[in-house]
Amino acid sequence: MHRLASLLLCLLVALPAFAERKQTFGELDVHYSVFNSSFLQPDIAAAAGLTRSKTGGVLNVAVLKAGKGVPAQVSGQIKNLLGQTSTLSFKQVLESGAVYYLAEFPLREREILTFSLSVQVGDSAPHSFTFNQEVFPDE
C-alpha cells in the first residue's frame, strides 16, 4: 500500500500534466486531481480497488489540516456540457498517515466535465466547490 500512497501523491502534486489543484477553506486545504485510470500500474490499481481502463477516469481528493491528512466525508457529482449528471462514489484509502478519497467515472469521449464536490471534516459545516476539467479516453 505504501506504493499506492506514493503514486497517488505523485499524481496529485508532481506531474506537470496534472497540475496541482487546491481549494482552501480556513485551515483546510483540499487537493484534487483527475487522471485516466489506465495511467495506474496494474498492481497499484488492484491495491486501491480501481479498474484500469482506457475509458475510465479517477478523481483523487486529499484533505489536509496543518499539512496532515484528515478523514473527511467527501461527496460529489459530475456534469457534462449537455447537463447530464452522475453521482461520484468515493473510496477512502488510508496509508501511513495519508488519507485519500478516490472516485471512478466513465470517459466516453473528449469533453469538459464539471465536478461539484462537498467536503466535511467532523461536525463542521461542509465546504463545497466546483471545477472544470477536460477529459478524454486513452487511445
Name which of 3-12, 41-50, 75-84 the model is least confident about: 3-12
90 within a domain of the structure (yes/no): yes
Q: What is the pLDDT of residues 38-54, one digit of tens each?
A: 999 999 899 889 999 99
Which pTM was predicted? Answer: 0.84
Please tell me the distance from the alpha carbon of residue 120 to that of residue 101, in angstroms, as a whole number: 12
Q: pLDDT confidence of 15, banded at 50, 70, 90?
A: very low
Q: Which three cell numbers stand for residue 31?
A: 487537493
1 within a domain of the structure (yes/no): no
Average per-residue pLDDT for the chain: 87
Count of structural domains, the chain? 1
Amino acid 51 reads T
- Is the predicted pLDDT of residue 136 greater than 70, yes or no? yes
Among 99, 72, 104, which Cα is nearest to 87's? 104
6 within a domain of the structure (yes/no): no
Q: pLDDT confidence of 3, banded at 50, 70, 90?
A: low
Inter-residue contact 52 to 42 (CB < 8 Å):
yes
Q: What is the pLDDT of residues 85-113, one digit of tens each?
A: 999 999 999 888 789 999 999 998 999 99
CA dihedral 79, 55, 12, 84 (to 10 degrees): 0
10 within a domain of the structure (yes/no): no
Residue 19's pLDDT is 57
CATH code for position 45: 2.60.40.3340
Residue 101's pLDDT is 96
Q: Give me the domain span that covers residue 73.
A: 19-135
93 within a domain of the structure (yes/no): yes
38 within a domain of the structure (yes/no): yes
62 within a domain of the structure (yes/no): yes
Q: What is the DSSP string of 79-94?
A: E-TT--EEEE-EEEEE
